[in-house]
Amino acid sequence: MTRQNRIYLDSNFLIAYFADKHADNDCSRKLFLDLLKSNSLLYISTLTLDETWYKIWEIPFREKKLKKGKWSSIKSFYPTIQVIIDELKKLPETFKLIQFENSLEMGIENAAKNIGCYGLEPRDAIHLAYMQDLHLNTIISKDKKDFQKVPGIQVVSF
């Protein structure tokens, strides 16, 4: 497997994939199927899952323009979280859930440097630090303008 087949998935890709009414749902599903067919190694972090779960939980409330105090409990969202987990478990071994593999301290230090060097917001800086930790140079994301600031990073939109 070559390096260009190792791809980090941003949360906006998974949000589009799992949110049926999302404007990019069809595009994300097609791309995901193509990635699985190509036998690419796909990586997501726990931060990606956190962002995905939270954003999918808030979609119906944002659509109804409800104030945060009017949203239903996150506890009521648990069945949806379980569906996402079950779907991810069905994926082939080419799909990896990651944390920092080398050093947590170095990963966090790299994230901070990514803020200073590239002006990334903290979450994107942490995503980049995960990529740097595993020597990944491709990300699937709608945040093209943010990650394009980083030399050597290829951003694939969907």
CATH number for 148: 3.40.50.1010
- β-strand pairing of 95-98 with 6-9: unpaired
Residue 107: the pLDDT is 93
Cβ count near 154 (within 10 Å):
14
Q: Which domain holds residue 115?
A: 3-156
List, as own/partner pairs, every contact residues 87-94 make where C-beta atoms lie below 8 angstroms and the sequence separation is at least 24, other chains included.
87/18, 91/36, 91/42, 92/36, 94/36, 94/39, 94/40, 94/41, 94/42
Residue 2: the pLDDT is 46
Tens-level pLDDT at each residue, the chain (158 residues): 444 489 999 999 999 999 988 999 999 999 999 998 898 999 999 999 999 999 999 888 888 888 887 788 888 889 999 999 999 988 888 889 998 987 889 999 999 999 999 999 999 999 999 999 999 999 999 988 889 999 999 999 99
Q: Count of domains in the chain?
A: 1
For residue 77, which phi and psi values (nearest 5 degrees)?
Answer: -85, -10
Cβ count near 47 (within 10 Å):
17
Q: Look up residue 106 and give its amino acid.
A: M
Residue 39: the pLDDT is 87
Residue 135: the pLDDT is 94
Distance CA 69, CA 14 (A): 26
Residue 1: the pLDDT is 41
Distance CA 15, CA 100 (A): 22
CA distances from 86 to 18, 46, 70, 81 (A): 12, 15, 29, 9
